[in-house]
Structure 1
Amino acid sequence: MVVVKWILIALAVLVLAALGVSQLGWLGGTAPTDLGVNNGRLKPPALTPNSVSSQASLYPDHPQRAFAQIAPLALQGDGPSTLAKLKAILQARGDVAVVKSEPDYLYVRYTSRWMRFVDDVEFWFDPVQQVIQVRSASRIGKGDMGVNRARVESLRASLSGAATSP
């Protein structure tokens, strides 16, 4: 009984320490410096299974290509108006900060509520394909428990007028 009590105390201390570290921003990772569009491409998916990209198929030798592939977002009007709608949807959320907004490109940063993990999400109007290319990636860790994929699918639903929020 005494051993169980000490184990529970130790677990409680670990949880509180993790929350304290996270609130200091130590789990947010480092902001990438290589985001944006380069030769008609967003950055490749992460090398670990914690990102999704509508352009993953452009990187045939990438180890996460199949896992990371997600469909681009359909236009709701033209490219700039679709990105404006996305921006409005995202700004209505408390966990999103708009980092860069241009007529054909949008970069936002999601921060999780409790652990303060940061994910970087990019949207680009691809004038050749006539879609919004998307890339969503966690800054740290090896997995994301499907958060980035679910986020993009929820945004897809919100953009098309469904009741689901991103």
Structure 2
Amino acid sequence: ASEYATIEPLRFTQDSALAMNRLRDVLAGWPGARIIDQSPDYIYVQFETRWLRFVDDCEFLLDPAARVIHVRSAARIGRRDFGVNRARVEAIRRRADLR
């Protein structure tokens, strides 16, 4: 199992559309981030690392019934990223402050 399987979804208490808009705003302003695809319930963003310019993929999927946004984040190259993706998701969680 991947270490990313343990990343908790982003929980929100506000309206689901507001939560996704807040998340989208945070991602749009994130250094090295580029939103590739989005819909009302989905965001696919690529992050380019500062060092060596690796690209990491990150997806956010809204589950309004559970009041969460599921997250998948992974490096494209290699098996280990030394916790970079997990740390980024946790920083996004703090900055979005969806509770």
* Structure-1-length-normalised TM-score: 0.55
Which of 56, 66, 69 is equivalent to 1:132? 69
Distance of 2:65 and 2:13 partners within structure 1: 16
**What is the identity, as a one-letter code, of the residue corresponding to 1:97?**
R
Specify the alignment match of 2:7 in structure 1. 70
Distance of 1:70 and 1:127 partners within structure 2: 18
- Size of the aligned set, in residue pairs, is 97
Q: Write out per-residue CA displacement over residues 37-75 of structure 1, whole angstroms, 9 at most, x where no aligned residue.
A: xxxxxxxxxxxxxxxxxxxxxxxxxx32xx321111011
Larger relative contact order, structure 1 or 2 (CA cutoff 8 Å, min sep 6): 2
Matched, 1:87 2:20: no
Distance of 1:140 and 1:116 partners within structure 2: 11
> Shift in Å at residue 76 of structure 1?
4.8
Matched, 1:96 2:33: yes
Q: CA contact under 8 A between 2:58 and 2:73: conserved in structure 1?
A: yes
Cα gap change, 1:127 to 1:93, in 2 (>3 Å)? closer
- What SS does structure 2 have at the residue aligned with 1:80? helix
Distance of 2:65 and 2:86 partners within structure 1: 24
Which of 46, 51, 60 is equivalent to 1:123? 60
Cα gap change, 1:76 to 1:101, in 2 (>3 Å)? farther
Q: CA contact under 8 A between 1:96 and 1:109: conserved in structure 2?
A: yes
Larger radius of gyration: 1
Structure with greater strand percent: 2
Indicate the percent of aligned positions where both proteins have the same amino acid: 42
* Structure-2-length-normalised TM-score: 0.88
Specify the alignment match of 1:154 in structure 2. 91
Runs of 4+ in 1 over 4 A off after TM superposition: none
Q: CA contact under 8 A between 1:76 and 1:159: conserved in structure 2?
A: no
- Could you tell me which runs of 5 or more consecutive residues in structure 1 were left unpaired when the two chains were aligned: 1-62, 162-166
**What is the identity, as a one-letter code, of the residue corresponding to 2:57?**
D
